[in-house]
Structure 1
Amino acid sequence: MRLDELVGIPDTHLAPATPADCAELLVLQRCCWVQEALQNDTLDVPALHESLDDVLEWTSTWSTWCVRQGHRLVAAVRARLDGAVWEVGRLMVAPDLAGRGLGRWLLAYAEAQAPPGVTGFALFTGARSPRNITMYQRAGYRLAESAEVPGHIKGAVQLVKALPS
């Protein structure tokens, strides 16, 4: 299925993020993570405290993809190699487009971009974000043994997905 058919709106396309996308990425990120903060009863969510410089930095150190609907940035995801694990992060979909399958599609796309030799995937979400956790579990992720990860934000859990050997 084509991406524009998936979201039901023509002129929807995916492209690697560029520095020109960063201001919009920051706005979309805040729109998406305010909901996370409310669900998890904390404002201690890194995505809400990042600056434009932070976003510019991570778009140069992570592989980052943006989905546009015409000129509007409507979704994004980033990923990077951490040892033999492909870490997926900042998966975000504009709230008015949530529930159309775009997040699942982006997750699968990010996974498909993993370099050879990757043994699995990892990501983080809010412990009280049932919609996110359910989506990730349907995609084959499971809560990590020690889901509460030291050094990460209180209330965040890690989900992992091993690749078949």
Structure 2
Amino acid sequence: MQSLTAWTTLVARAGGRLVGACRGRLEGEVWDIGRVMVAPDLQGRGLGRHLLELAEQAAPAGATSYQLFTGAGSTRNIALYKKAGYRLRGPAPGAAGAVLMTKPRHG
């Protein structure tokens, strides 16, 4: 239950159906974005990109950068994040099979 209070959670619904979600939390000066999810039948339509933008906009004023983790073999996710300005930083510490991606916050 701690994750319910520690994270800001955003959801996308269509006709009452949950079609996407993501969350973020501040860790020091880094806005940690997690669990970007889109219903499989709606992937490839820009919903993930939109959720990522909303997650970034939800970051509090003290955040100086963004970070997220994704599977090392998740080529579509990595491509999406790179297109959004994230840079691959290498293996995620303590998370086997995952990579860390970061992006500076501007403005």
Normalising to structure 1: TM-score of the pair? 0.62
The secondary structure found in structure 2 opposite 1:80 is: strand
Q: Distance in 1 between matches of 2:86 and 2:71?
A: 14
Gaps of 5+ in 2: none
Matched, 1:159 2:104: no
The secondary structure found in structure 1 opposite 2:5 is: helix
Matched, 1:133 2:78: yes
Other-structure match for 1:94: 39
How many matched pairs?
107
1:122 deviation in Å? 0.1
The secondary structure found in structure 1 opposite 2:66 is: strand
Q: Is the 8 A contact 2:69 2:92 kept in 1?
A: no
Gaps of 5+ in 1: 1-55
Matched, 1:148 2:84: no
Residue by residue over 1:28-69, the C-alpha shift from the partner in whole angstroms, topping out at 9 and shown as x without a partner, is: xxxxxxxxxxxxxxxxxxxxxxxxxxxx43222100011111
Q: Which amino acid letter does the alignment assign opposite residue 98 of structure 2?
A: A
> 1:20-39 residue pairs with structure 2 within 5 A?
none
Percent of paired sites with the same residue: 53
RMSD across aligned C-alpha pairs, in angstroms? Answer: 1.2
Q: Which amino acid letter does the alignment assign opposite residue 135 of structure 1?
A: L
Given the alignment, which residue of 6, 14, 18 partners 1:73? 18
Q: Distance in 1 between matches of 2:2 and 2:37?
A: 18
1:127 deviation in Å? 0.6
Q: Which has the higher strand share?
A: 2
List, as ranges, runs of 4+ consecutive aligned residues in structure 1 with deviation greater than 4 Å. none
Q: Which has the higher helix share?
A: 1
Q: Is the 8 A contact 2:26 2:32 kept in 1?
A: yes
Q: Which amino acid letter does the alignment assign opposite residue 127 of structure 1?
A: A
The secondary structure found in structure 2 opposite 1:60 is: helix
Q: Is the 8 A contact 2:65 2:103 kept in 1?
A: yes
